[in-house]
Amino acid sequence: MISNKTQNFSNSRAIKTCAFTTLIATFSMAHASEKLDVASAYSTQNIFGQSAENISKRLDDISGGDFQFTVHDPGDLVPPFEIFSSVSSGAIPAGWTSIAYLSGTLPIANLYGALPFSPSADAVFSWTTAGEGSKLLQKALDPYNVKFLACSYLPQEPGGWFNKEINSTDDLKGLSMRISGLGAKVLNQFGASTQLIPGNEVYLSLERGRVDAAEFSIPQVDHAMGLDEIAKYYYFPGWQQGAGWLALLINQSVWDGYSDARRAQITTACQANIQKEADEVIPAQVDTIRELKKNGVEIRRFPDDVLQALHGAWVDVRDEEMASSPAFAEAYNSLMKHAEKMQQWHDLQALGDVTKEQGQ
């Protein structure tokens, strides 16, 4: 016969075991169901969208499959240019886009991927991720309840695709061009008509004559979009954008709801993606340009006097932006100081013409 004491102990143990099992099951279910739906401004068929999917794969590995990072194509959740407002309001938990697309709301955003005649890409990115750039941008985003993470690295873009030669600033008059950021304001000073068109509409807009010219991204992306099929001239340098990167925007309340470990996993996945792209992107662009040349695309350089005129107009636009937006002025001055430090190092390490004379 089992004593009452033994029976009570057994019952108590069973209850505790059941409670513990229920607790573990509940935690496991909650942990396994943790996910993030991400509205992408770019198709997962091009490298911008694929960059977000690379992060998804890394997160799957890092989290042991406990975190679902799902990338949705443009328009599946919201249109590309509504990502920021939708993340801000909480209509969607997260988005994948260019910070430059936020410039209509935040003038400071132009410094993060759409700055004409900007410092080098490495200087801009260093400032963005390790300098004051991250702090200043997050400060601007805080009132909108949006957390940002820099997650993708892009070098300086080309100047764009044209179906006519640009020999002087007169050739810019009346030109209709797809262009983002402050470069549009610069071109407007020469009589050009500019508009910002989502990436998934650029090809048709150029093909159907909605625009006469277009700048969108790096050669690898432009080629994948087929822009070389409908434009003859590919102009360099990309005066309108010295560096670029893509960001993961997360509703601040969603971000705050994650554990420290989960936030660290997301951050680590982004940092790993940045390193991967920084290692691979430049050689890939050179290979693409060689292929474009074989296919008949004419690689051109803007004449020096055109670049000088564009720079003069940029100085006027820059001064207007700094006067109208203290946040822009603060961030611009911060970027220039950071870039100066980077340049001092490069100057000290410069080998000059020695390697050329000695065949490296």
- pTM higher than 0.95: no
Please give the single-letter amino acid code of residue 14.
Answer: A
Q: Which DSSP symbol is given to 242?
A: S
Please give the single-letter amino acid code of residue 90.
Answer: G
Q: Is the pLDDT of residue 31 over 90?
A: no
Q: Is the pLDDT of residue 40 over 90?
A: yes
Across the chain, what does the average pLDDT equal?
89
Q: Is the pLDDT of residue 86 over 60?
A: yes
Half-sphere exposure of 146 (CA within 13 A, CB side): 25
354 pLDDT tier (thresholds 50, 70, 90):
confident
Q: Is the pLDDT of residue 23 over 60?
A: no
Interval 280-308 mean pLDDT: 96
The enclosing H or E element of 94 equals strand 94-98
**Helices 47-62 + 260-294 axis angle, to 10:** 150
Q: Which DSSP symbol is given to 74?
A: T
16 pLDDT tier (thresholds 50, 70, 90):
very low
Question: What domains are there in the chain, each with its CATH number?
Answer: 33-156+243-284 (3.40.190.170), 160-240+296-326 (3.40.190.10)
Q: Is the pLDDT of residue 65 over 90?
A: yes
pLDDT of residue 113: 81
Q: Who has greater pLDDT, 221 or 23? A: 221
Q: What percent of the chain has pLDDT over 90?
A: 77
Q: Is the pLDDT of residue 44 over 60?
A: yes
Q: Is the pLDDT of residue 247 over 60?
A: yes
- pLDDT, tens digit (0-9, with 9 covering 90-100), for 192-224: 999 988 888 999 999 999 999 999 999 999 999
Q: Is the pLDDT of residue 18 over 50?
A: no
pLDDT of residue 172: 97
Interval 232-240 mean pLDDT: 96
Q: Which DSSP symbol is given to 291?
A: H
CA distance 59 to 270: 9
Q: Is the pLDDT of residue 75 over 50?
A: yes
pLDDT of residue 24: 33
Q: Is the pLDDT of residue 317 over 70?
A: yes
Q: Is the pLDDT of residue 1 over 50?
A: no
pLDDT of residue 269: 97
352 pLDDT tier (thresholds 50, 70, 90):
confident
Pairing of strands 233-236, 160-162: antiparallel
- pLDDT, tens digit (0-9, with 9 covering 90-100), for 323-348: 999 999 999 999 999 999 999 999 99
pLDDT of residue 180: 81
Instruction: From residue 2, give the alpha-carbon distance in Å to each of 7, 98, 168, 255, 293.
Output: 6, 71, 101, 54, 90
pLDDT of residue 199: 82
163 pLDDT tier (thresholds 50, 70, 90):
very high
166 pLDDT tier (thresholds 50, 70, 90):
very high
Please give the single-letter amino acid code of residue 243.
Answer: A
| Residues in contact with 14: Cβ distance below 8 Å, sequence separation at least 6, in sequence order | none
Q: Is the pLDDT of residue 313 over 90?
A: yes
Q: Is the pLDDT of residue 4 over 90?
A: no
Q: Is the pLDDT of residue 25 over 80?
A: no
Interval 25-29 mean pLDDT: 34
Q: What percent of the chain has pLDDT over 70?
A: 89
CA distance 347 to 342: 9
pLDDT of residue 353: 76
242 pLDDT tier (thresholds 50, 70, 90):
confident
